[in-house]
Structure 1
Amino acid sequence: MASPVLCVLLLVIHQLFFCVSGAEFYSSVHEMTKVFGYEQKMLQQIQKFVAENQGKLDFLRARLREFETERNEAREWGPAYFDSPLNQYLLNKRLTVDWQRVENLMETSTGEKSLNRLRKLRNRDTMPDKKELEGAMDGLLRLQYVYRLKAKDLARGILDGVDYGTQLNSEHCVDIARLALRDQHPRLAHSWLLEANDRLTGGKKESELKPQILALLVQAKKELEDFRGLRETYQELIQIQPASEDHARNYESFLASLGENAFLNESKPILEHAPLPEDDDLVSEFDAFSLTCSGHWKLTPKEQRHLRCGYVTETHPFLWIAPLKAEELFQDPLLVLYHDVIYQSEIDVIRQLTNNRLIRATITSTNESLVSNVRTSQFTFIPVTAHKVLATIDQRVADMSNMNMKYAEDHQFANYGIGGHYGQHMDWFNPTAFENGLVGSPEMGNRIATVLFYLSDVEQGGGTAFPQIRQLLKPKKYAAAFWHNLHASGVGDVRTQHGACPIIAGSKWVQNRWIREHDQSDRRPCELWDDSLATLAQILELKKRIEAQSASS
């Protein structure tokens, strides 16, 4: 039996490809722990049913022992049970496919009462469904793509170098590969199919899975234009499972359409991930985000040599007594990380304030505010007047940023589950958002700056990536990042594009303070030039060139 780590794998990560269900516990570990408790009640109903069906329910007893073993192992893990995405896969599978088998067996005249109670538990809005199971597998593919992980390692329970002691079987690998093909990830599908083939163990299961693996490999090789490999795989397929006449006719027609030249080249090894781009290669926004998350895009030592660390004392007299520890991460645009600027006692209050208030996060699009697979987390907004701790935090933000907090938005708190992420975006509002009435209190202007508090550490992944400046902030509890979203001229700064990288293991809590630009002119005045068109460094460089040309002439 797989260890309890395997369930977490695919349950929480439903971000890119599916509509969300009512429960959506996968988008928050905080919410997922509530659902986990329902399984114990479901086990109790099975126990009652078994008591009424002594002698004829051996299969059901075996299933019960298997489920209880999983739960006992989970208890031994304690809270760490949910710190790996692998555990969620098996939990989700139990609550969908395996529990359906149990229902079918229990559907007899005896035990009807227990069966009805079990169905009532399974039909709760907060229980997962098969669409979430597919979304969870998609989340695994996202982790594999963003962090350039290997299917072989993932199947062995190794997540970005950390061994969780779990194994996926051949059937699991086939399911993941099938979803990867459907969602146009042929490289990833190919790697999972090879792993599925390696994990075949013989017997009836192999005779069922082998033809499926070969048929899917034919499809993957077609997508990857490995036509010689396609033909060899197809020949192997028809040897163990002769195709129907229609199937054979369609295949021959497909070969004819390719022409003989398609098979002249040797079959080359298919890379699991595309090669890393060269410096002058064009890269999509998502790939730039992924490369930053995985650490393949980062600042060079030469680019970092002007950055400083130190104590901030000048923005408020109180800081002479209690200076802030600041780490400069980028100068233009300004990006600063403040250390130890929120305290555990304040985080405890925040957790109490957010209890039972989290809902699925939304994004602001061009025409509406909507739930999107670009952002998978649970969030809530709480006004500063809700508790004195929030006012204290705002005063600290004012000291840190030298900004007027009177026109800041409500405090936003978010919890990301395993694989939870927020794709690349800008915090500032697009002009069309104002035109379409999607911005609350538009008279306060755009979001001039952001302060992002990290309320928890994250075991693996979950960083904040700034692909335009190749900077990755790894979550550090009690720290806060600060940056300007707008140029001094008031134009949105595209260089501040950022995103929350997928979480591999752990739970991530953050607090956002979005500061509006109204009444900030004395805090951040405009420059003497339009800094959205040229930076001061560019202007000085141009001035030097003009002076040099004048001197030479």
Structure 2
Amino acid sequence: MRFSQWLLPLMLLTYSCSVLAEESHSTSVAGMVKLLEVEAQLIDNLLEYADEMESKLKIVRRSIASMLQENFKARSSTEEYLSNPLNSFSLIRRMNSDWTVWQLYMEDPVGLKQVDKIQELREHMPTSTDVEEAVTALDRIQSTYGLKIADIANGNLNGKQYNVSLTMLDTYALGQILFDQGKYVEAAGWLYQAIITMEKYTLAAPMELSKTEVRSVYAETLLKLKQNADALKVINIALADKPHDIKLLLKKSEIETLIRTGANVAPEKPTTVRTGTPNTYQIGCRGQFKQSADARLHCLYNTTTSPFLILAPLKMELVGLDPYMVLYHDVLSAKEIEEMQDMATPGLKRATVFQAASGRNEVVRTRTSKVAWFPDSFSPLTLRLNARITDMTGFQLYGSEMLQLMNYGLGGHYANHYDFFNQTAAANKTAISGDRIATVLFYLTDVEQGGATVFPNIQKAVFPQRGSAIIWYNLKDDGEPNIKTLHAACPVIVGSKWVCNKWIREREQLFRRPCLKRK
């Protein structure tokens, strides 16, 4: 079996017999830094393996030189050479014992230490789940922003060219995994791209990839899409390279039978970009919402929310009135941001979402990021942040939730959701401190591309600006949830998105926002 034939199955193999913990590498850029460190160790390990092989090779070649010299001397004058008893004895001895030693030397494996090192590092390496999540992330980026597969493969992301491209192994893996997930349209596009890439480049052993193998999977994908005639064309192209391949011949016969006995769907060009009208969420993520012409939305220096702001006013932009939404600019310093990131990185864990059905927080595919939580009194910095939140909102923070620092990874996003719990479905979450009256979201970093916070119901989008913070009310004046606060975090295309948020509970705001209903 060729290496390429078991490469992807091996990559996709779930280590079911092990106790490896899922580190969820792709869900945080900060978390993926460790992968580069592990890869560096693996490369060093491979270099040691190469050194050992070269050392053994030098010994062999050096010995061969002296052997050839002696053998040439003997064959140049065979009778004279063998008539000397010393030469005869040496030849018999060499043939009897030296070659036994060489056999043992050749059988002695090289690099066992390095093989053990790879096994030792395997617990820090991505699992099949990580690979599948990474594939889903790239697929999410493509669909959300309407990108072409060929552009992505060649490093052109959303109109900007980067000095990076996907290899044929990358594109083939994307196609094969999407095929396994039943996403045949998307799989066809990536497999077609893999075939295009294979026409331009070849891979060196042991990573070579069989064109026949890729074309066979592509043909199978086209069959799933009922594009039987196109599938037959692909198989015929594969047979041109391997005319006696029994598997290809059988597949050709199978497809010809399908065409003869069933209605064939009209051939369709392989999909390299999703078609159709983008939904409101996608429009927002692409920055295509129309700008509001409401004259009541303006910028000002806030000097009134707290007495401290009289001395140090904050730059505030009124973004919306229903729900009430404001954006504060330059409320975090570079030093504070760096301290927050250093504080959070060691403790980042996969983000979860509260599920009313189970009454528990669970990992879900609709939220891909890592988070770390910090009590209000954790450090002088957290105390300052909470004081700043009070200055910005005018709310009492007693009984509210801890600060949450979050880092998004490959295609990191959070699908449409509400921040309020809705006490009828989550009474245990709101019994003590009430529901989430407001959300405060700090942006710790700029994001080169993507990563906006969008509100589909009111068609507003806020793109990350380092040091800014957006605040919105989740509840109406009467305390009822405001469904207009539906929002989402768009997938990050390029960049490392860091945010910090604080959910403020309603119970302590009785005298801060007195219109709320009493409970």
TM over 0.5: yes
Query: Is 1:166 the equivalent of 2:155?
Result: no
Task: Provide the rounded CA distance (Å) in 2 between the counterparts of 1:511 and 1:171.
Answer: 37
Q: Structure 2 residue aligned with 1:379, among 362, 371, 374?
A: 371
Question: Structure 1 residues 268 and 346, CA, compared in 2 at 3 Å: closer, same or farther?
Answer: closer
Q: Structure 2 CA distance, aligned partners of 1:208 and 1:466?
A: 45
Matched residues, percent identical?
Answer: 31
1:166-185 alignment, distance < 5 Å: 166-185=164-183
Q: Secondary structure at the match of 1:412?
A: strand
Distance in 2, matches of 1:442 and 1:409, equals 14
Q: What is the rounded CA distance, in whole Å, between the counterparts of 1:203 and 1:269 in structure 2?
A: 21
Please state if 1:512 is matched with 2:516: no
- In 2, the alpha carbon distance for the partners of 1:468 and 1:30 equals 32
Q: Which has the larger radius of gyration?
A: 2
Q: How does 1:43-82 map to 2 (within 5 A)?
A: 43-54=43-54
Cα deviation digits, residues 149-190 of structure 1 (max 9, x gap):
111111111112222222323343222122223334333333
* CA pair 45-273 structure 1, distance change in 2 beyond 3 A: closer
Return the match for 1:341 from 319, 327, 331. Answer: 331
In structure 2, the partner of 1:251 is 255
Query: Which residue pairs with 2:113 in the alignment?
Result: 113
Deviations 1:86-124 (A, max 9, x none): xxxxxxxxxxxxxxxxxxxxx96344334323321x233
How far is 1:197 from its partner? 2.9
In the alignment, which residue of structure 2 is the partner of 1:273?
274
Asked whether the equivalents of residues 175 and 191 of structure 2 are also in contact (C-alpha less than 8 Å), the reply is yes
Answer whether contact 1:228 1:267 (CA < 8 A) is retained: no
Pairwise mapping of residues 524-543 of structure 1 onto structure 2 (< 5 A)? 524-526=513-515
| CA gap 1:151/1:249 in 2 versus in 1, 3 angstroms | same
Residue equivalent to 2:473: 484
Aligned equivalents of 1:516 and 1:305: distance in 2? 31
Q: What corresponds to 1:316 in structure 2? A: 306
1:88-487 mapped onto 2 (5 Å cutoff): 109-120=109-120, 122-124=121-123, 126-201=124-199, 209-224=210-225, 226=227, 229-230=230-231, 232-233=233-234, 236=237, 247=251, 250-252=254-256, 254-255=258-259, 258-259=262-263, 262=264, 267=268, 270=271, 272-277=273-278, 287-296=279-288, 298-302=289-293, 304-366=294-356, 367=358, 368-431=360-423, 433-435=425-427, 437=428, 439=429, 442-487=431-476
Q: Match of 1:379, SS?
A: strand
Moved more, 519-528 or 419-428: 519-528
1:26, 1:185 → 2: CA distance?
A: 20
With normalisation by structure 1, the TM-score equals: 0.72
Which whole-Å CA distance do the structure 2 matches of 1:375 and 1:57 have between them? 52
Q: Deviations over 1:293-315 (max 9, x none)?
A: 1234x13454x554212222221
> What is the DSSP-based 3-state SS (H/G/I as helix, E as strand, rest coil) of the residue aligned with 2:39?
helix
Shift of 1:216: 4.0
Residue range with higher mean Cα deviation, 233-242 or 170-179: 233-242
CA change 1:485–1:324 in 2 (3 A) is: same
CA distance in 2, matches of 1:46, 1:237: 35
Cα separation, partners in 2 of 1:50 and 1:230, compared to 1, 3 Å: closer
Q: CA deviation at 1:358?
A: 1.6
The verdict on how the C-alpha distance between 1:456 and 1:203 changes in structure 2, with shifts beyond 3 A counting, is closer
Secondary structure of 2:346's counterpart equals coil
The CA distance in 2 between the partners of 1:112 and 1:270, in whole Å, is 46
Corresponding residue SS for 1:364? strand
Among 485, 499, 507, the residue aligned to 1:496: 485
Change (3 A) 1:153 1:355: closer
Question: What SS does the corresponding residue of 2:437 show, helix, strand or coil?
Answer: strand
Count of paired positions: 444
Task: Identify the range of structure 1 (268-277 vs 396-405) with the bigger mean alpha-carbon deviation.
Answer: 268-277
The 8 Å contact of residues 228 and 255 in structure 2, kept in 1 or not, is answered as no
| Runs of 5+ unmatched residues, structure 2 | 1-10, 12-19, 59-106
Show the counterpart of 1:24.
Answer: 24
- The question of whether the paired residues in 2 share the 8 Å contact of 1:226 and 1:268 is answered with no
Q: Does the 8 A contact of 1:324 with 1:339 survive in 2?
A: yes
**In structure 2, do the counterparts of structure 1 residues 494 and 220 end up closer, same or farther at CA, with 3 Å as the change threshold?**
farther
2: CA distance, partners of 1:173 / 1:352: 35
Matched with 2:5 is none
- Against the structure 1 CA distance between its residues 333 and 204, is the aligned structure 2 distance closer, same or farther, given a 3 Å change threshold? closer
AA at the equivalent of 2:273:
E
Which position in structure 1 is the counterpart of 2:40?
Answer: 40
The answer as to whether partners of 2:351 and 2:370 remain within 8 angstroms in 1 is: yes
Secondary structure of 2:364's counterpart equals coil
**Alpha-carbon shift at residue 374 of structure 1 (Å):** 1.6
Greater CA drift, 201-210 or 305-314: 201-210
Cα distance in 2 between the residues matched to 1:268 and 1:422: 33
Deviation at 1:455, TM superposition (A): 1.2
RMSD: 3.3
